Structure 1
Amino acid sequence: MFKDRRSKDYENGVEQFLNFAMIRASDLQSIRCPCRVCGNLRSQPIREIRNHLFFNGVDQSYTTWIWHGEAVTSGTSPCLNEQDFSQQQFDPSPTDNVAETIEMVQDAYDHCTADPEVFKKLLEDAEKPLYPGCTKFTKLSALVKLYNFKTTNSLSHTGFSDLLTLLGDMLPLNNEIPSSMYEAGKTFAALGMGYEKIHACPCDCILYRKEYKDATSCPTCGTSKWKLKKNSTEIRKDVPAKVLWYFPPIPRFRRMFQSAKIAKDLTWHAHERDYDGTMCHPTDTPSWKLVDHKWPDFAVEPRNIRLAISADGINPHSSLSSRYSCWPVIMITYNLPPWLCMKRKFMMLSLLISGPQQPGNDIDVYLAPLIDDLKMLWEVGVEAYDAYKEEHFRLKAVLLWTINDFPALGNLSGCTVKGNYACPIFSEGTCSHRLKYGKKNTYVGHRKFLPRYHPYRRQKRLLMVSKSLD
């Protein structure tokens, strides 16, 4: 079952395993699923398990079938998937949870490059009981659980603050539960989850940073950076008209390498993948290979990060109107295995551009802080600590791709995506025609038909097969 999922041997192994498990199952309706995603934590019907094993593959660490009838040898422990740890059917010891939290913070403190005093406060929170006499949770371990509950159930900041207030009232006096989302966020600030609020010109001309940091009006259009009072020309000082939320990626890259498991996964593409001639990972793409060929010094270090950014506009709060625009810029790390690349916890929000209008062609103004950090990661690099190899190294990164729809492509690349030359590939060779009365451009020359007597037209059997597949 640890061979190529497309092979006959793998198919036979799946069937043998399912027969083995069903003979020894206490419940014939469902058994634990050993795929990579479920990790023996979820019980599924036998048909669903078969699909999971072909789609997700079997958990590579599950070599002794202790959940499916094989005798348990000494030293054998259940196979646990960290992604679904919170959903397991047996609870770990609360003391183990507290110890793991303290160890995590202590490790971050030992290798931190930020303010050590901040980490000392975090370490105190990791050791401080949730309330006097509590042995199950510390302040930090309880907050980690609550944050996990918030993200899993998509609670709003207001809802989370109300939950914290309610828990604070339920727990004994002198408990350590924060009273609001803001207070809880301050506790986690030392772990590198901070952000920067950068003021912007409401006309999208500049960001008030670097040489414009102390300016009060835009040098390009003269618009004040402060908001105006409603139905008035009076300025509301200290209330910016537009704000860019910037989440620096460098601290998060460093934090990823401070986890031994994630640090190992970040070099999976170089040490653990199979080279079987098929395209199964971005390392097989021409873009990746071109970087390896042109910059061998960058390619020789497998820990150097290959990135993509995705940008698009959304209407927040499920609003179908276009009176407000929100543009998130998501960063994706492609060093990871294919089953982790697009996981939610590895998709980093880098920028949040919000305002009454979308940035359009001025999106480059808002991308400037991210571009500066990416340039530094490419040209100079930053010092980072690899917890898996237990050594310091210089971390670099390269941006391989941008992911966006067709209108956003025009904003990011500057190419034409409208009018007579809308195709970015054919440019002036685009087959376009403007309707005389409809006043719209149509593109009717892109469909190329086979000649009337071409031999492919007589292959009716293949034509029927293609239609059935559609």
Structure 2
Amino acid sequence: MDNREWMYMGRPSQAQITREWMDKTEKFLDHVFKAAKEARDTFCPCSQCENKKRKTREVKVQHFCKYGFMPNYTRWVSHGEAYRPREEAVRRRLEAFDGDGGVPGWLGDYEDATFAERPTEDEQEDEEEEPEPSAKAFFAMLDSAQKVLHEKTTVSQLDAIGRLLGLKSQHNMTQACFDAMMAIIGGLLPEGHHLPSSLYESTRLLQALKMPYEQIHCCPKGCVLFREEHKDAKYCPKCKSSRYVEVDKGDGKKEQNEDIPMKVLRHLPIIPRLQRLFMSKESAKQMTWHKNGVRYNPDKMVHPADGEAWKSFNGNHRGKDEEAYNVRVALAMDGFNPYEMISAPYTCWPVFAIPLNLPPGPYFNGKTYS
């Protein structure tokens, strides 16, 4: 990355602007609008907007001259530099910290997909709409990805949180241990740092990545789920098996420990996860590839939509084939022991729902697939 001291040294005040600052600001704008392709406006990194509002090129020039660049914006994460080659990103993160989860990189991919979807400057001025909760959570994460931990480092707040949460998971830390560690690290950082003080504050910034799931107790023999009409039952209505682990009371009798179910089904609702595929214009377009995508070699089967089973389904369900956004999924299930060959007789039987609409290979600029 180039030395970007010119962004601040070349404009010490509104009345003092160097020729170098003007020339390099023009090059910065060329870079920004080239990366944004056909977008009329992009995020404005002036000290007034701080990458929270989108402005046209003309307005950006006025803002830069009047307000200057926002502090510490020497890495243009909102204007293309978050999208560097994946190998380079992974290598740098591994060098910095072996357990880094790369959360800011995910945000970069998401921001790239939604670049052309944000409201224009005129739309923002005409009507300021309140974003939905999931969008608000994402923008909060985006802000933390751009906010440095403190003024003496280039590590972002979100990067730091990702590394520490990765460490917690790797070493199975308790919440009390993690909170104590955060308090110690926070006391060692310069005053005014942006490191959260607890696990609760750290995970709250990752809210946009969370997806809902439900834990449902079930019969250990697989007879019924303890939900709806059976939600209050303590024994299976068919085989009479106990819903909870039974412990010996010491008098020859057993009682249920209602804190420990015998068997649990974890249900991850598919609808919110499919909705996330339509959350951006880019991924929504990919969901229509099975119908609208171009096959560059029509003699080869490159997608399940080219198979006879798919075509037979279309023939039997004419209405389903007409709408390209209808989602088709494949189910896969198999059991495995997550603890390998140890004494604990524990197995998992996940059911995977695989969306078949998506293209078979990498997607490049909405045109080419390989």
TM tier, smaller: 0.5 to 0.7
Q: Give the partner amino acid of 2:90.
A: Q
The 3 A distance-change label for structure 1 pair 227 and 134 is farther
The alpha-carbon deviation at position 288 of structure 1 amounts to 0.9
Distance 1:278 1:98 in 2: 31
TM-score by length of 2: 0.53
Correspondence 1:1-400 to 2 at 5 A = 86-87=89-90, 100=111, 112=132, 116=133, 120=136, 123-124=139-140, 126-127=142-143, 129=147, 141-142=158-159, 145-146=162-163, 150=166, 156=170, 158=172, 166=181, 169-171=184-186, 172=189, 175-177=194-196, 179-180=198-199, 187-229=205-247, 233-274=254-295, 276-319=298-341, 323-339=345-361
* Letter in structure 1 aligned against 2:270: P
Displacement of 1:120 in angstroms is 4.6
Does structure 1 retain, via aligned residues, the 8 Å contact 2:161–2:202? no
**Partner amino acid, structure 2, of 1:294:** N
Amino acid at match of 2:319: D
1:189 to 1:230, Cα distance in 2 relative to 1, 3 A:
farther
Displacement of 1:264? 2.1
Which runs of 5 or more structure 1 residues have no equivalent in the other structure?
A: 1-76, 342-387, 389-470
Tell me if structure 1 keeps the 8 A contact 2:149–2:195.
yes
What's the secondary structure of 1:326's corresponding residue? coil
With structure 1 as the length reference, what TM-score do the two structures score? Answer: 0.43
Letter in 2 for 1:210: E
The 8 Å contact of residues 82 and 108 in structure 2, kept in 1 or not, is answered as no
Q: Residue 315 of structure 1 contacts residue 321 of structure 1 at CA under 8 Å; is this kept in 2?
A: no
Aligned AA (2:238) = T
Q: Does the 8 A contact of 2:148 with 2:155 survive in 1?
A: yes
Displacement of 1:261 after TM fit? 2.5
CA shift digits 1:214-239 (9 cap, x unpaired) = 22222112233222226861221233
Query: When the two structures are aligned, how many residues end up with a matched partner?
Result: 251
* Change beyond 3 A, Cα 1:160–1:227: closer
Amino acid at match of 2:262: A
Letter in 1 for 2:267: Y
| Equivalent pair of 1:315/1:322 in contact (CA under 8 Å) | no
Alignment partners' CA distance in 2, 1:265 and 1:98: 15
* 3-state SS in 2 of match to 1:270: helix
Q: Distance in 2 between matches of 1:269 and 1:164?
A: 48
1:130/1:142 contact within 8 Å kept: no
CA spacing shift, 1:218–1:276, aligned 2, 3 Å: same
Quick one: distance in 2 between partners of 1:231 and 1:218?
22
Please report how far the alpha carbon of residue 250 of structure 1 lies from its aligned counterpart in structure 2 after TM superposition: 0.6
Query: How much does 1:244 deviate?
Result: 0.9
SS of residue matched to 1:331 = strand
Post-superposition Cα deviations, 1:130-168, rounded to whole Å, max 9, x if no partner, equal 7576896665x4378549x95xx9964726977887566
